[in-house]
A and B are shown apart, each in its own frame.
Chain A
Amino acid sequence: MSKLEMVSVSKTFGPVKAIEDISFSVEEREFVVLVGPSGCGKSTLLRLIAGLEDISAGDLLINGTRFNAVPPAQRGLAMVFQSYALYPHMTVAENMSVGLRIARVDKAVIASKVSEVAAILQLETLLDRLPRQLSGGQRQRVAIGRAIIRDPEIFLFDEPLSNLDAALRLQMRLEIAKLHKKLDATIIYVTHDQVEAMTLADKIVVLNEGRIEQIGTPLGLYTAPRNIFVASFLGSPKMNLLPGRVTGSDSGTARIDLDIGASTPIDVKAERLSDGDRVTVGIRPESIAVGAEGSDAFLPGVVSVVEQLGGQTIVYVDIEGGSPITVIMEGLADITTGTAVKLGLPGSALHVFDDGGEAVNRIG
């Protein structure tokens, strides 16, 4: 039995459908990340789980029991809000313990729980401070502490790192990952940042316009995206997408001519493709080789921008008749703007999407 299950859940606000027929499950101790662009419904979905919004249709099951009408406080969930939602007039200790005080838990028990959680989050020296006296990262930890102290069945995180600067975001991301292991917690985490999703999740649910695009492990989604949306949403820099046309297909292989000139045979389940079909070919920036030796297809181009990041070099190559192609090269590549290059596209790294944007399955 799953820890939490959403079964055909929909949510409408008046005439607007925010969530449409969504089903997924969360297992015990699983870290599930709901990811998608702004306005895709991920926060609404979290609020439906939390009970802060009513479910219009479908079922929310927790440990197999229907929880649609159960008040938020009785769902055994704790939520960390994007804004942290710390009570400005309460100290750190009071912020963390407010739920226990409302539940009239014994003062000694509250004190011991506060110090226990403060130790986990290194907040011991800050317990008497007010939120306005804390840094962004410290506030974030207090908000997490307030969730931990309730010992919930499931943690809900609503874009918890979006208000932090880049360095702090990285640090807190690591802390949340450690915390997940330390507490053996079940976590549902909302973010629009695909890096957070890829690094934290056991399972990613990709959402777009109120619908699920794909569910899977981070690497599963990265290597086998179901459609163009997932393919281009996950990965930074984005996957290169090249329009083309099927020019020859037999039982196992389709030959695809790219609009920008190259031609390549690709092993796909060709029964869905016939000659003349429009397709989009996708290739990740790190899969492209500069220098065409041994590749199934190659494209000539001119380097327009070079970004040296130290560990890797991002190269933007202008292709005649097409959009620029992004290439990632390992280390500090010795390449300059204006250099003429040949980009090799290994057939094994290509993704093919049909006219509707759906992936065409590879063979093998």
Chain B
Amino acid sequence: MKLTYQRLLPYLFLSPSLLLLAVFVYGPALENIVYSLFSWSSMNPDWRYVGFGNYRHLFSNHIFWASLVNNTLYAVISVAVQVFVALGIAAVLDARVFKRRLVYLFRTTFFLPSILPVTVVGLLWQLIYQPTLGLIDQLLFATGLDSLSRVWLGEEQTAMLAVIMVSQWQWTGYMVALFMVSIAAIPRDLYEALEMEGASRLQQFRYITIPGVREATLILTVITIFGAFKVFDIVWVMTAGGPNHASEVLGTHMYRSAFRDDVVGYASSVATVIFFITICVGMVQLKMQRDR
């Protein structure tokens, strides 16, 4: 009797959060897969079972593929900047190149954008990107580089990259702070031992810092990729996926399909694709962690 009680007790404590997860996360995720097999809209009570029809439509839709490419570009650049550049910056800040006060100043300055709301960031950068009057164009004019001036958010070639750069500006400092914590946990005497062996700063980075932050790097890479495939808000605020779907991502494509075009079944199939992409990334992470 007592044994059964002890065995059940942990589940009792877990049950509130499990219940919330089931109702608000796993339930809707599974429900969404069912929705994606129907053709339906919010204005029409008739649901029509179409099997994989929504998916056939999805995979033949060039906007979906353009969105997927944009998400992938988002992920690649974000991993490069928010993970690897951030690691480099964190290592430099930790290497006692700068005085401690300067390190605090840099760290805080880099970190501040991450606490701003996305809408504020979006509006701020819309002003910075503004043609002619914006800060970037003003800088180009001031330095005689007028020919490089663009309608940054209004041209198909630059819109996506312009939005991606804003995301890097906002989140790289946050990642730097996380990497600095991770680097600070590496024992100092490992560096000193290698210094006595004649290793340069770069060799110390290679032999100690990189292996020392491997776990953190893996987790932050996965989180960054998750974020890149789920991105919606900053794109919606800055370009709403335009011009001509040039900055469309899966999130905005799904939102537009569901709430503007009212093809909710189709939007559910986009959501399902995002769901499976993130599951795949998560499984890769788990496998890499197990392999270690």
Contact = CB atoms under 8 A, between A and B. Distances in A.
Interface of A: 50-52, 72-74, 77-79, 81-83, 85, 87-90, 98-99, 102-103, 146, 150
Contacts of B208: 87
A78 B187 CA distance: 19
B193 A89 contact: no
Interface string B121-134: 00000000000000
Contact of B193 (A51, A74, A81): A81
Nearest to B198: A73
B197 A102 contact: yes
A85 B193 contact: yes
Of B194, B198, B203, most buried by chain A (CB within 10 Å of CB) is B198
Contact of B187 (A85, A98, A103): A85
A72 B196 CA distance: 5
Contact of A79 (B193, B207, B212): B193
B197 A85 contact: no
Interface of B: 187, 189-190, 192-199, 203, 207-208, 211-212, 214
A85 B190 contact: yes
Contacts of A82: 189
B195 A87 contact: no
B211 A78 contact: no
Nearest to B190: A85
Given A98-B207, A102-B203, A85 B198 contact: no
B196 A50 contact: yes
A142 to B, nearest CB: 12
Contacts of A150: 197
Contacts of B207: 87, 90, 98
A78 B198 contact: no
Contacts of A85: 187, 189-190, 192-193
Contacts of B196: 50-52, 72-73, 77-79
9 contacts: A73-B199, A74-B198, A77-B196, A79-B192, A85-B189, A87-B194, A88-B211, A90-B207, A98-B199
Contacts of A83: 187, 189
A77 B198 CA distance: 11
Nearest to A74: B198
Contacts of B214: 89
Nearest to B192: A52
A87 B211 contact: yes
B203 to A, nearest CB: 6
A141 B206 CA distance: 25
A98 B192 contact: no
B211 to A, nearest CB: 4
A99 B190 contact: no
B211 A81 contact: no
Nearest to A158: B189
Contact of A99 (B189, B198, B211, B212): B198
Given A52-B196, A85-B187, A98-B197, 7 more contacts: A51-B196, A74-B198, A81-B189, A83-B189, A85-B189, A98-B194, A99-B197
Given A87-B208, A87-B211, A88-B211, A72 B195 contact: yes
Contact of A52 (B187, B195, B197, B203): B195
